[in-house]
Structure 1
Amino acid sequence: MEMEAPADQASGKHIVLVHGACVGGWAWFKVATRLRDAGHRVSAPDLAASGVDPTPLREVPTFRDYTKPLLDLLESLPPGEKVVLVGHSLGGVNIALACELFPEKVAAAVFLSAFMPDHRSPPSYVLEKFVEGGTLDWMDTEFKPQDPEGKLPTAMQFGPLVTRAKFLQLCSPEDLTLGRSLMRVGSMFVEDLSVQPPYTEARYGSVRRVFIVLKDDNAIVEGFQRWMVQNYPVEEVKEIDGADHMALFSTPAELAHCLADIAVKYAA
């Protein structure tokens, strides 16, 4: 599915793509290219200790520190500019925090098979429910403390088995090789998020939200995606068939078209 570029380049929207844990802005390369070719402005920042950001994970003690590159991007926007924020996987919590701090700068928040906090519970709630539900077999994922005192968030690294079976099972061998070679140690920051207050209805809750369900996601399975929507209803739910967790790789044309439609609809 190809997108036609807007007749007026100025009609393109600013779409900010936020990656999940253990990857970086590079993971959006297929989607970002298609959106730019269609006339949209695209930003895909590396969060702290991710992608090519040189910060080691041990120097990122809080989720807000981890999100700082995204928050800096929003803070730098000129007055009156609004973006469409897209969060994938753990990136959903990053965009929720961004909406809480800068609701006036966000035209819509798009959760792509992403963890979506509500405004009643600590932001860790959806992560804790996900782990408790046991819908993901973590296989060869490694969880390790970063320091003997346990003051830093637990480090997480995906192994080759879980990557192939749960995250990229519908991707090409080339994409699997690329993904494995560029992954870094990350964290879900559950310890820090569990002591943060809920994001508020007045700020985070004021931003229009869209959820994109990935029908063949083996990591955050469809049932849990729909539970999150039921837990915190959104403006609109879209679906992509034949998309594994890394729809950024497996169905980039369909995903880019979906995001472009959302941007045109929600961004003035």
Structure 2
Amino acid sequence: MPVLDPPGFYYYKPPNTVAIISIPLENERAAIVSLSLSTLEVDGGREGKGGGSPDPRPIPSPAQAGRLRSRLHPLALLLAPWSWHKVTTLLRSAGYQVTALDLAASGVDERRFQDLRTFTDYTQPLLDVVASLPPGERVVLVGHSLGGMNIALAMDRFPEKIAAAVFVAAFMPDSVNPPSYVLDKLKQEKTMPYWLDTQFGLVVEDRERGPTSMLFGPKFLSKLYKLSPPEDLTLAMTLARPSSLFLEDLVSMPPFSESGYGSVEKVYVVCAQDEGISEGFQRWMIKNNPVKVVKEMEDADHMAMFSTPKQLFQCLSDVVDASA
């Protein structure tokens, strides 16, 4: 029987994603930038009325893509890259170079969940990629779901390397409270029935020293993928690995700094049909930590890269161009 009364708060790994796209550089070197979805914009803090309809602009042909390469940038998808394969294909056809990598103990990463002790351990692959960027190259980071916390850590450590950060139906911390604040807020609002068949505390090898594990079950995953193709849900259930929100570690960390995390331009993409992180909670996080631009995907569930991939592709190119 799974343990249902762990001392922490948990989340499933595959839906937590980070995408990266690079911005144009004078020397045309490829900068790595992570990013995600969007479609309704807010200028000067006012929400527009764009809704969730797809961008009418056509996806570039191979010939057009070749001409675009001089000004578009490579995109790397981090953390559960398998979930970005549809968007990756669209980006490559438009001239983007795409690199995919998993965060620690995620996807095909060989580390075990038991090997992780801190949220930094979990985020280390992303931190290594951003740290390796040559001087003068800046990126756009995009985090999905728990990936918002991962990119926030990278933003705090390397603000000079990040042109903008996009939070796609993602947890977004502020610069006042400990990083765990938004996770605690959701925990207070959600009772055990919300988690359906999620299994807690299955990894017990080093419970006293490491984070508490969690694993989503088929019923909870179905809620996250409610508008996504059924074959993508099947793939998610096949690739599931234990994970954690690392709340035990995040609660002890100081707030992300204004000079680091707070100094990076932020975009939030609201997924209106999300039943994992509800639209209301997404908008609460925006109110708690105002951003420069708010975009909305009206028809996107929690897994917008599956439910609305073309809209996501179109949004990504808009965000990168605006950051150039």
Asked whether the two chains share a fold, i.e. TM above 0.5, the reply is: yes
One of 55, 63, 68 as aligned partner of 2:124: 68
Aligned to 1:111: 167
Q: Is the 8 A contact 1:141 1:157 kept in 2?
A: yes
Aligned residues: 262
Listed one character per residue, the Cα deviations across residues 198-229 of structure 1 (whole Å, up to 9, x for unaligned) are 11001111100000000100100000000000
Q: Return the offset for 1:149.
A: 5.2
Confirm whether residue 27 of structure 1 aligns to residue 87 of structure 2: no
Could you state the TM-score of these two structures normalised by the residue count of structure 1?
0.93
Distance 1:122 1:147 in 2: 28
Confirm whether residue 8 of structure 1 aligns to residue 68 of structure 2: yes
Aligned Cα root-mean-square deviation (Å) = 1.6
Distance 1:65 1:198 in 2: 18
- Structure 2 gaps of 5+ residues are 1-53
Distance 1:42 1:82, change over 3 A: farther
Structure ranking higher in helix proportion: 1
Aligned to 2:254: 197
- Structure 1 gaps of 5+ residues are none
Aligned to 1:216: 273
Distance 1:195 1:66 in 2: 16
Confirm whether residue 257 of structure 1 aligns to residue 257 of structure 2: no
Structure with higher Rg: it is 2
Higher RCO by CA contacts (8 Å cutoff, separation 6 or greater): 2
Q: Is the 8 A contact 2:75 2:98 kept in 1?
A: yes
Secondary structure of 1:109 counterpart: strand
Confirm whether residue 47 of structure 1 aligns to residue 107 of structure 2: no
Please identify, of 139-148 and 151-160, the stretch whose mean Cα deviation from structure 2 is larger.
139-148
Distance 1:184 1:212 in 2: 26
Q: Return the offset for 1:16.
A: 4.2
Confirm whether residue 178 of structure 1 aligns to residue 238 of structure 2: no
Aligned to 2:150: 94
Distance 1:83 1:34 in 2: 20
Q: Is the 8 A contact 2:178 2:253 kept in 1?
A: yes
Aligned to 1:163: 221
Aligned to 2:133: 77
Q: Return the offset for 1:78.
A: 1.4
Distance 2:75 2:158 in 1: 15
Secondary structure of 1:216 counterpart: coil
**Counterpart code for 2:99:** S
